Chain A
Amino acid sequence: AQTVTQSQPEMSVQEAETVTLSCTYDTSENNYYLFWYKQPPSRQMILVIRQEAYKQQNATENRFSVNFQKAAKSFSLKISDSQLGDTAMYFCAFMSAGANSKLTFGKGITLSVRP
């Protein structure tokens, strides 16, 4: 079974600065997908970024980028130029490749952006 570990329960960052959220996972599979989801306070969970394991290039979505280290089974999220709206819980998640696979989530990290 796959496991996803987010060891930091909380982090805080000053507005406009950069912050990195850590995630490690354990799997014996070679093909899979990794995700970061964001859950703002009292709002719906949304997908932030996705990484395919077969791609060597790190995914980027505007101010959000990942550092995917397949050998180390590490998948960190970097948020550049942090904004107040980035305050949320962030969940790292793993999904095996193949039709109808399930997401396995980490425990989440609460990020607070200070004005």
Chain B
Amino acid sequence: DVKVTQSSRYLVKRTGEKVFLECVQDMDHENMFWYRQDPGLGLRLIYFSYDVKMKEKGDIPEGYSVSREKKERFSLILESASTNQTSMYLCASSAPGLANYEQYFGPGTRLTVT
């Protein structure tokens, strides 16, 4: 089974702190994604990566950055956390190619910024 893990299920940080959210997948997937999930807004794509050291902005990249130094790991960074970044963060991965478009999701990290 594909396994996508996220470093924390719950995280509480203070405004202005630098926050790292880690995601690891064990299926050798090229594609990795970070979403945030908010009530009434669904999932919105923050950043994604199609290969090591590659990154692309999603729909709401402001206030976030990412790092992908190894194929299995994709980190989301909040340079200076703000209260409006309180949310559920979901990581996902998928294999490339036309035959497989299923994204496999991690359990999510519920981040609270106070």
Q: Which residues of A contact B (CB under 8 A)?
A: 6, 9, 33, 35, 43-47, 50, 91, 95, 97-103, 105-108
Contacts and interface: CB of A to CB of B under 8 A. Distances in A.
A6 to B, nearest CB: 8
Interface string B91-102: 010001110011
A75 to B, nearest CB: 15
Interface size class of B (residues with CB under 8 A): 20 to 34
B90 interface: yes
Nearest to B38: A107
Interface of B: 4, 31, 33, 35, 40-45, 48, 50, 58, 90, 92, 96-98, 101-103, 105-108
A50 B100 CA distance: 11
Contacts of A43: 107
Contacts of B31: 100
B96 A99 contact: yes
Determine which residue in A43, A46, A102 has the highest number of CB atoms from chain B within 10 A of its CB, and name it.
A102
15 contacts: A44-B105, A45-B105, A46-B105, A47-B103, A50-B102, A97-B98, A99-B96, A100-B50, A101-B101, A103-B43, A103-B45, A105-B43, A107-B40, A107-B41, A107-B42
Given A45-B90, A100-B96, A102-B48, A50 B101 contact: yes
Contacts, number: 49
Determine which residue in B43, B92, B108 has the highest number of CB atoms from chain A within 10 A of its CB, and name it.
B43
A97 B99 CA distance: 10
